[in-house]
Structure 1
Amino acid sequence: MAVEVTGVGQREAWLAKRFPSVERLDDGLWSVPVVFPGNPMRYTLSYVLTQGDECLVIDPGFDSDEGWAQLVAGLRRAGVGAGEVTCIVATHFHTDHLGMARRLAKASGAPIGLGAAEQRHLSVYDDAEQEVELDRERMRLWGVPEGRIEEAAMSVGALEHLRDLADADFRLSSGQPVPFGSPHGEVRVVETPGHTPGHLCLELPGREIFFSGDHLLPRITPNVSLELRGDPNPVSSYLDSLALVERSNHYEVLPAHEYRFRGLGVRARELRTATEERSLQVLEAASVQRDPSVHSVARDISWSRGFGSLGGLQFRLALSETAAHLQHLAVQGLVGGVRGLPTLAPQVPMLR
């Protein structure tokens, strides 16, 4: 069975590199694209759900004046003003999901919800300069050439930007209803750590609709990174989360990027297989190197655009993803001696 594309117009826009339209998807449910400037993902698909006098916004998007105008216009299409939003939920703590939450909450007074386990792990520090130096030292341990340390490490400006993101007014756990609708309970929470430590998805069981955030995307594998103060074994968490959502393929998946599709279980299994194959690729690269480092392994595995072409954030993400897979392998006792990885108790090997 293959994934069925349901967001045909969204897919056409994605492939043509055009900005998609606001769409009415179901009774009281709208898809609103919000620009993500300077990023290859280009925009976030925010979702607006209305019921009576209540309005829930899921992943309001990156904070910019242009994006704010797009979100307000989308809300207007849904029949509500920004001041009438009653609840905001971000699937995770990334700027293209949580960024606009503070502005929307200020306009409406709506509370902001995040996953129970979501951490501000990139914004918990006392001294930004000291935090940057810690990150640079980690890049050195990962074998990054000295001339590219500054490019790979976090900057003071980036850290301060993350610190400005909104805090949660309430936290959500698996099986818990989102405080929206009358009676509350239409929107249910599924905790799906991996892409971030406390990533969550939302579902409308009665309508067989699944808001997947970045956990499940139709075309690409979400980045799963090893980050300072983050999940010490995010690949393992991601694999467990994928297994958790391998349910009915009748569910329509509403992701935060690209386009809608049907086939929740099919896509979850595809992504689980792709993640396991990536770990095997990392294992093969590490096994033939005398003294493997995160950088040397990343250099020797395949990347869609080629490792040599990666710069800035994409370079960092490639390193962090490679480190996450090396950590997953190290915990299973399949690789050892790679510097800069957290120390965890070994587990029984799971790769076949």
Structure 2
Amino acid sequence: MSERDVRTRRAYSAQKVTDLGDGVWSVPVPIPGNPLGYTLVYAVESPTGPVLIDAGWNHPEAFQALESGLGQAGISLADVRGVVVTHYHPDHAGLAGQVREASGGWIAMHEADAEMVRMFHDMAASDDRPRMQTDMLRRAGASPEELPAAIMDAPTPPAIPDVHLADGALVDVPGRRLRTVWTPGHSPGHICLHLEDGDRVFTGDHVLPGITPHIGMYPYDRTDIDPLSEFLTSLDKIATFGPLEALPAHEWTFSDVAARAGEIAEHHEEKLTKLLASMTEADRPLTIWTAASLMTWNRRWEDLAPMLRGMAAGEAAAHLRTLEVRGLVRRTGGDPVTFVVHS
């Protein structure tokens, strides 16, 4: 997340169920104990029942808010036709399984994120996540003292989806035209959704009005992926929609999705430029952890809790990987992995 996050975030208490017109409703669903506050769940009406875009965090308070909010829109959970999950993260996919149980509807997401969900179910069964995280943090250069507190708790894996959506596919919403737009970066299978009969774009976490989504790489030292470059390419893809209204999963709806996509792309290019300058000034191989400490976050590195430093390291790793792919830095060590400016 960028340094602008804290200043632009709006409280959950200020949100309300909203009729956005053309059979689209916005329902704020809280994320208890999380500073992000809430997820905006959207309901798209159709003759055969509404389809939800995302579902919210798996928590009793969130489920109650979702059910109550839909009720204010005149929608019963039992009538929900299906849930389209923009990506597998728990504040989006967490309640999809409970909605399916209550309605008998389907859950849809992109195959790349469906694969992630299956992997998390396998990991939960093996209970191998703490060891894997410890090894990843150590290879990134985290100190032994930081390792225990930097390990993240694993939320309950979301429900395995019934339907896989490919790029360009129409979602099963009779009487509407809701088209899948694959936008990897924030997650491998993140999707936006173009409501063609209403000329709006549901942007999930891909394009947000006041904050930038987390673009991380896990494990940090992978060489087979480049999520930041994928994200930047996906921003270009969304920019082709021009000044359409954006309906994001957090914060508030806004106009001109293309302009905001351009701002976010510029933000990351600036971060890449600053990181490269910091590495040039250091003039020595840097671990991922040290590189992260040189980047700008929403608070000073010294003030970040170990778990947040771990997330920052994931984002630093993604930026280092893009610099590596562009031929601007190279790896000089493996345990811990280190990077140096390419000579």
Aligned counterpart, 2:53:
58
1:167 aligns with 2:167: no
Aligned counterpart, 1:311:
305
Change (3 A) 1:340 1:169: farther
Alignment match of 2:24 (pick from 24, 29, 33): 29
Shift of 1:339: 5.0
* TM-score, length basis structure 2: 0.88
Shift of 1:54: 1.6
Aligned counterpart, 1:224:
215
1:200 aligns with 2:191: yes
Tell me the secondary structure at the aligned position of residue 286 of structure 2. Answer: coil
Change (3 A) 1:123 1:146: farther
Contact (CA 8 Å) 2:146, 2:306: kept in 1 or not? no
Change (3 A) 1:313 1:52: farther
1:333 aligns with 2:327: yes
Tell me the secondary structure at the aligned position of residue 288 of structure 1. Answer: helix
- Cα displacement string for residues 155-205 of structure 1 (whole angstroms, at most 9, x for unaligned residues): 4xx1xx343x101101111211001123xx511100000000000000112
Aligned counterpart, 1:243:
236
Which runs of 5 or more structure 2 residues have no equivalent in the other structure? 1-6
Instruction: For 2:307 and 2:14, locate their aligned partners in 1 and report how far apart those are by CA, in whole Å.
Output: 23
Percent pairwise identity: 33
1:40-55 aligned at under 5 Å gives the runs: 40-55=35-50
Which moves more between the two structures, 293-302 or 304-313?
A: 304-313
Alignment match of 1:153 (pick from 136, 151, 154): 151
Tell me the secondary structure at the aligned position of residue 298 of structure 1. Answer: helix
Aligned counterpart, 2:3:
none
Tell me the secondary structure at the aligned position of residue 261 of structure 1. Answer: coil
1:90 aligns with 2:88: no
Alignment match of 1:134 (pick from 121, 132, 135): 132
- The residue identity in structure 2 corresponding to 1:135 is Q
Instruction: For 1:330 and 1:173, locate their aligned partners in 2 and report how far apart those are by CA, in whole Å.
Output: 29
Instruction: For 2:211 and 2:57, locate their aligned partners in 1 and report how far apart those are by CA, in whole Å.
Output: 20
- Cα displacement string for residues 231-257 of structure 1 (whole angstroms, at most 9, x for unaligned residues): 721001101100111124331100000
Alpha-carbon RMSD? 2.4
Which moves more between the two structures, 191-200 or 25-34?
A: 25-34
1:110-129 aligned at under 5 Å gives the runs: 110-118=105-113, 119-120=115-116, 121-125=119-123, 128-129=126-127
Contact (CA 8 Å) 2:9, 2:210: kept in 1 or not? no
Aligned counterpart, 1:8:
none
Instruction: For 1:149 and 1:282, locate their aligned partners in 2 and report how far apart those are by CA, in whole Å.
Output: 24
Which runs of 5 or more structure 1 residues have no equivalent in the other structure? 1-11, 344-348
Contact (CA 8 Å) 1:138, 1:340: kept in 2 or not? no
Shift of 1:66: 1.1
Contact (CA 8 Å) 1:91, 1:200: kept in 2 or not? yes
* TM-score, length basis structure 1: 0.86
